[in-house]
A and B are shown apart, each in its own frame.
Chain A
Amino acid sequence: MTIKTKSLTDGMEIEHTVGNVFADDPKMSMRNVDVFYNDKQAIKNVSIDLARNQVTALIGPSGCGKSTFLRCLNRMNDTIDICKIKGSLLLDGEDIYHKKMDPVLLRARVGMVFQKPNPFPKSIYDNVAYGPRIHGLAASKDDLDEIVVTSLQKAGLYKEVKDRLSSSGTGLSGGQQQRLCIARTIAVSPEIILMDEPASALDPIATAIIEELIDELKEKYTIAIVTHSMQQAARISQTTAYFHMGSLIEVGSTDHIFTNPSHQLTENYITGRFG
């Protein structure tokens, strides 16, 4: 079986993405995006829209380029010298790689939760308060307190840490750190939230809280989430995109992808015959 799948893609360029990549009301639209690490191409000619106030799930086997693609959407890849990006990436019709686009402002509008939890070596409070502070989002100390508490509550962490807000964020468990990073990101109230496996280290209860949060957040925000859990993608997303070796194989409504995938690779993946 594995051999067969391999022969399907080995040396073969995938020309077209199966399914409809266009959204009716796109918050972001990416066209013909190529990403290179030095000479190695990690993303090949990907076009996709992120529909406004919807959750788009990016799925695919490990190393297929999900994180790489996600990091292009708020120009996180600018920090990697060897990374080169081609194609057009629009946020509300504006080119985010245009000279006039300030990456600092862009990242305030497009927030990100990273694959590995990376709390600052500061107090839990300061971790969450950092974003609002640098952007001047809180008018007063009380304001800031409120932002911190509600963000922690939404991330389902408040109960566990309310007595030790001044202790270090790095002293939390892996799953707690992950929720702290989510709280930190939503404290800035970005327009778009990019999440790279936000629930990879969470127990079912915490995962449920985060999924609830995502469901709630999409009322106001646009969300893209990378996940390795098919069930999670099926539960929370409206649109699913399947990546394979740097190419976007198939995009479609989540219902469609999980019940009736059009591409053989997608089917193999979601039925567990691959990856």
Chain B
Amino acid sequence: MTNQLKTGQKALNMNDSSMHSNTDRIKKSLKKRNSKEKRFRLWGRLAISFGFLMVAILFADIGTKAYPAFFQHWIKVDIEFNRQWLSIEPSDSAVRPDMQALKQANYSATVKKSLYQMFPSITARGDKRDLMKLLSYSAEFKIEDLVTANPDLLGQRVSLWLLADDDVDSYFKSDFTAGQSSGRINDKQAMWLKQLFDSGAVEKRFNTLFFTNSDSREPELAGIRGALSGTILTMIIVLAISFPIGVSAALYLEEFAPKNRWTDMIEVNINNLAAVPSIVFGLLGLAVLINIFGLPRSASLVGGIVLSLMTLPTIIIASRASIKAVPNSIREAAIGLGASDMQVTLEHVLPMAMPGILTGTIIGLAQALGETAPLLMIGMVAFIVDVPTNFTDAATVMPVQIYLWADSPESAFLAKTSAAILVLLAFLLIMNFSATFLRSKFEKNGQ
């Protein structure tokens, strides 16, 4: 009896202990699992911090390099709008010269002589030339603009702020000791500059020209407006071509096309296309668009078409993936209510796939935005001074501009290169933000 009881108890205990050990086992493994999860989270945080750190370093580096490019030095010069210096006929102050006469006037002489007046002690020819080198050659155009806009200035003497030459600009931006020669500024020039500086005739201003001018041989005049316009025009073409075509192709392939060998082959080829080196598309653009169809060289239209070809596979692949991810039950629900295939596709599948499609599009556009190689072939890698205003004007794009400046010997272009990179990054960010905004809008609609 006692025995029986004991064995019974034993059995119960065993049961108990085995239950216990199960919980223990789970607890033990739970410990392992938890620490695994912790480690994974730590890794994730490390990876993200690393990424952020790299981006921060990149921005800090580019930012500090670009900083000088956003400022410029200006020199105050007393300009005398002397009719003789301007060689305006007749020199009689009572007669108002006509536009023709104003256009032909000698403004460079006026600048020179006004400047010599400020430094009467300078007589040697070489010194005079060095003195002139302090000012950007854009000075004469500035006073021409002033006079043609307001002929009453003739005969007057006006204090004007004129842009300094890039060497002067660099001199002031470097840590110079006043009056000492440095870089491309010689001793005499340094002395004059010190005089000007001490008399308050030198000023550092925000560089608006950088945003309003196009490329120029003179670093102090070079700006990104032309390249930025070219980029915007090209991106409009890329978006206008690759987005509708890419999305339609993806919708057709996913929703309408029969699944057979042909569509399999198309799929493989689209994937191949995504892997084709971009310069090949440039060759195609040259051979077909320019040589056969006779489209203009260097035009953003051609650049846009070429970059569209490059962007299309990216958009198609991303769109197809996101269309595939739309649950079939939604299609069935709409079909079951009597929606036509077209209605199902446009009213249900497309809106639900839109966030993914937009992500793909932005990746494709970002690729196109940074591309230079294919543009090389169609002549968009060129020195272009005019701001393109339509799709057939000769244009260049931001990355090309960056490349051209990085390749220039003048030290002032170094800062411009970084500044242009910053502008390109800003452009990319704006593009990304608008895509994110649209995306969240579609997601909200979808919920």
Binding site for B on A (CB under 8 A): 74, 76, 79, 81, 104-105, 107-108, 111-112, 114, 116, 118-122, 130-131, 134-135, 168, 170-171, 181, 184-185, 188
Q: A168-B447, A170-B447 are in contact. Are A120 and B334 (CB under 8 A)?
A: yes
List residues of chain B with CB within 8 A of the CB of A120. 330, 333-334, 348
- The reply to whether A76 and B338 form a contact with Cβ atoms under 8 Å apart is no
Q: Please determine whether A114 and B338 come into contact, CB atoms closer than 8 angstroms.
A: no
- Asked if B259 CB lies within 8 Å of chain A CBs, one says yes
Q: Mark B422-447, 1 if CB is under 8 A from A, else 0.
A: 00000000000000000000000111
The total of Cβ contacts below 8 Å across the A-B interface reads: 62
Check if B158 is an interface residue, CB within 8 A of chain A. Answer: no
Cβ contact within 8 Å between B329 and A185: no
Residue from B329, B334, B338 having most chain A Cβ neighbours under 10 A: B338
Cβ–Cβ < 8 Å partners of A112 in chain B:
336
A104-B340, A134-B343 are known contacts. Are A118 and B332 too (CB-CB below 8 A)?
Answer: yes
Residues of B contacting A: mostly: helix
Tell me the complex Cα distance, A130–B344, Å: 11
Q: Which residues of B contact A121 (CB under 8 A)?
A: 330, 352, 446-447
Query: Do B331 and A105 touch across chains, with their CB atoms under 8 A apart?
Result: no
Alpha-carbon distance between A201 and B389 when the two chains are bound, in angstroms: 63
Q: Assess the A118–B329 pair: CB atoms within 8 A.
A: yes
Please measure, in the bound complex, the distance between the C-alpha atom of A104 and the C-alpha atom of B341, giving whole angstroms.
Answer: 9
Q: Which residues of B contact A111 (CB under 8 A)?
A: 336-337
B335 contacts partner chain A, Cβ-Cβ < 8 Å: yes
Known contacts: A134-B343, A170-B447. The answer to whether A118 contacts B333 by CB under 8 A is: yes
> Can you list 6 A-B pairs with a CB-CB distance of less than 8 A?
A107-B336, A107-B337, A118-B327, A131-B337, A168-B447, A185-B337
CB-CB under 8 A from A134, the residues of chain B are 337-339, 343
Q: With the chains together, A54 CA to B334 CA distance in Å?
A: 26
Alpha-carbon distance between A114 and B335 when the two chains are bound, in angstroms: 12
Contact A114 B446 (CB under 8 A): no
Inter-chain contact B330/A135, CB cutoff 8 Å: no
Residue of A nearest to B348 (CB): A120
B330 touches A118 (CB 8 A): yes
CB proximity of B334 to chain A, nearest CB, Å = 7
Is there an interface contact between B336 and A185, defined as CB atoms closer than 8 Å?
yes
Contact A116 B338 (CB under 8 A): no
Expressed in whole angstroms, the Cα–Cα distance for A213 and B18 within the complex equals 54
CA distance A121 to B348 in the complex (A): 9
In Å, the complex CA distance between A185 and B339 comes to 12
> Please, which residues of chain A bring their CB within 8 A of the CB of B336?
74, 76, 107, 111-112, 114, 185
* B332: min CB distance to chain A, Å: 6
**Residues B338 and A107 in contact, CB atoms below 8 Å apart:** yes
Docked Cα-Cα span, A171 to B343, in Å, equals 24
Taking the nearest CB of chain A, how far is it from the CB of B239, in angstroms?
Answer: 27
In the bound assembly, the distance between CA atoms of A130 and B82 in angstroms comes to 80
The interface residues of chain A lying within 8 Å CB-to-CB of B338 are 104-105, 107-108, 131, 134-135, 188
